[in-house]
């Protein structure tokens, strides 16, 4: 009788245990991605549908390779582990080589092609610096925030809310920052020619790679690599994990495809400003009067439905691509932990606010300014890297106050 009672209790516990939703998540993710692509094909264009799928591909790669910008910088700052930064330099070098012929030609498939080359000034430096602090407090950069959400990190939702709010705040007085001292956009290939600019780019990337390598060897006596668990065999192709090098190469390929079909490189944060502007319009605000939204293209973006905005559809698909990757990897075999320390929630919100504000001042984030900017041979991208890294030095020191474990 006693054994029967114990068995009944165990049976009830098993019946009430959280079910593994992996199959449903995979099905829903595929439905959203395929259905979304078909919708965009019918309502906008085949290019928009393709870019939507490319965004999902990016999210899938980011998750399976755990390709983080924030964590890579933090590991180097704290422990002199430079594998992540070296992977970023390889990604930049490959992307630069792929971007170069397209930028020189200036057009493809009947439309113009241009890189992310922006002015350099006080606003960019301060914006990147603020972003660098914020990415450590928010525990993720722009791409990291989105793929963390898809990967079941509840903290990412809080960071995204702050990101959107910070973007809106920056756009309300964008003109003040644009009047700060600055110089006109500088392109390495425009200044030094195609080969000169390309070689200078490779030299700069090699210098960063070398410095990181030397500092890591000085601390540890060798280069450290994160061992990968190859427990899935050939299924690693879709279940992961992938190496950082594989992630770097695939992200470089993705970005050049975005450049080809969109006409400009990959970006993320301009959509957050648009989402915020659409939201405040619901409460009677008029973003069309703000300096940031002046110009025909931006006015049209405010007037159009969100699915016409390429960055928006790529951001959304990135989250679902990461969701699909996380489901394949078994992330949702365990329930998502929604409860977070209050300090962590506050830190994520402040970090998001700082990143949203900083990204608008600096003409982009770790993707639009850093990755796409450098790949476009923009001096602005290199300046962004320097000042965002300096900001991260401070952000890393502040993380323990937000209940993060470094």
**pLDDT band, residue 19 (cuts 50/70/90):** low
- 117 within some domain: yes
pLDDT digits (tens, 9 = 90+) for 345-376: 999 999 999 999 999 999 999 999 999 999 99
State whether residue 82 is helix, strand or coil.
coil
pLDDT digits (tens, 9 = 90+) for 115-148: 999 999 999 999 999 999 999 999 999 999 999 9
In this structure, what token pair is assigned to residue 114? 């241009």
Q: Which of 276, 321, 305, 336 is nearest to 143 (CA)?
A: 321
Rg, Å, the chain Cα set: 22
228, with CB counted inside 10 A (0-12, 13-18, 19+), is middle
What average pLDDT does this structure show over 63-82?
96
User: How far apart are alpha carbons 400 and 405 in whole angstroms?
Assistant: 6
Residue 330 pLDDT more than 50?
A: yes
* Long-range CB contacts for residues 338-346, cutoff 8 Å, separation at least 24: 338/154, 340/154, 340/155, 340/158, 341/403, 343/401, 343/402, 343/403, 344/155, 344/402, 344/403, 344/404, 345/155, 345/158, 346/402
- 171 within some domain: yes
Residue 7 pLDDT more than 70?
A: no
Angle at 103 between CA 98 and CA 104, to 5 degrees: 105
- Which range of 87-91, 110-114, 293-297, 398-402 scores highest in mean pLDDT? It is 87-91
- 49 within some domain: yes
State whether residue 63 is helix, strand or coil.
helix
- 17 within some domain: no
User: How far apart are alpha carbons 325 and 237 in whole angstroms?
Assistant: 11
- pTM here? 0.92
Residue 289 pLDDT more than 60?
A: yes
User: How far apart are alpha carbons 192 and 341 in whole angstroms?
Assistant: 51
- 9 within some domain: no
Residue 2 pLDDT more than 50?
A: no
Question: Which pLDDT value is given to residue 404?
Answer: 82
- 8 within some domain: no
Quote the domain boundaries for residue 219.
Answer: 22-402
Q: Which of 70, 66, 134 is nearest to 406 (CA)?
A: 70
* Domain tally, the chain: 1
- 47 within some domain: yes
What average pLDDT does this structure show over 286-310?
93
Question: Which pLDDT value is given to residue 16?
Answer: 46
């Amino acid at each position: 009788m006693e054994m029967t009672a114990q068995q009944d209790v165990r049976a009830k516990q098993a019946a009430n245990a959280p079910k593994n939703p992996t199959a449903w998540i995979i099905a829903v993710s595929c439905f959203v991605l395929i259905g979304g692509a078909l919708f965009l094909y019918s309502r906008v264009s085949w290019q928009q549908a393709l870019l939507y799928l490319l965004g999902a591909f990016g999210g899938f790669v980011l998750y399976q390779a755990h390709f983080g910008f924030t964590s890579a910088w933090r590991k180097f700052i704290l422990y002199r582990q430079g594998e992540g930064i070296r992977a970023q330099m390889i990604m930049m070098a490959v992307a630069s080589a792929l971007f170069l012929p397209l930028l020189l030609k200036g057009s493809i498939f009947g439309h113009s092609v241009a890189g992310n080359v922006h002015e350099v000034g006080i606003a960019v430096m301060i914006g990147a610096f603020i972003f660098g602090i914020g990415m450590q407090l928010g525990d993720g950069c722009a791409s990291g925030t989105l793929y963390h959400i898809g990967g079941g990190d509840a903290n990412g939702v809080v960071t995204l809310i702050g990101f959107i709010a910070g973007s809106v705040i920056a756009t309300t007085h964008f003109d003040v920052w644009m009047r700060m001292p600055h110089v006109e956009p500088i392109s390495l290939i425009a200044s030094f020619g195609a080969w000169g600019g390309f070689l200078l780019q490779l030299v700069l990337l090699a210098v960063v790679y070398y410095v990181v390598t030397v500092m890591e060897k000085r601390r540890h006596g060798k280069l450290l690599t994160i061992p990968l668990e190859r427990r899935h065999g050939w299924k690693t192709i879709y279940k992961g994990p992938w190496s950082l090098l594989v992630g770097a190469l695939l992200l470089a390929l993705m970005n050049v495809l975005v450049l080809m079909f969109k006409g400009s490189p990959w970006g993320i944060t301009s959509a957050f400003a648009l989402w915020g502007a659409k939201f405040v319009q619901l409460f009677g605000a008029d973003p069309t009067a703000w300096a940031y939204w002046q110009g025909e293209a931006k006015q049209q973006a405010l007037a159009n439905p969100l699915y016409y905005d390429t960055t928006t559809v790529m951001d959304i698909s990135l989250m679902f691509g990461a969701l699909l990757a996380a489901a394949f990897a078994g992330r949702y075999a365990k329930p998502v932990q929604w409860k977070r320390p209050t300090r962590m929630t506050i830190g994520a919100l402040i970090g998001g606010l700082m990143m949203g504000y900083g990204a608008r001042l600096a003409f982009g984030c770790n993707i639009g300014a850093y990755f796409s900017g450098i790949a476009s041979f923009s001096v602005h991208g290199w300046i962004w890297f320097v000042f965002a890294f300096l900001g991260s030095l401070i952000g890393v020191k502040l993380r323990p106050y937000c209940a993060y474990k470094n």
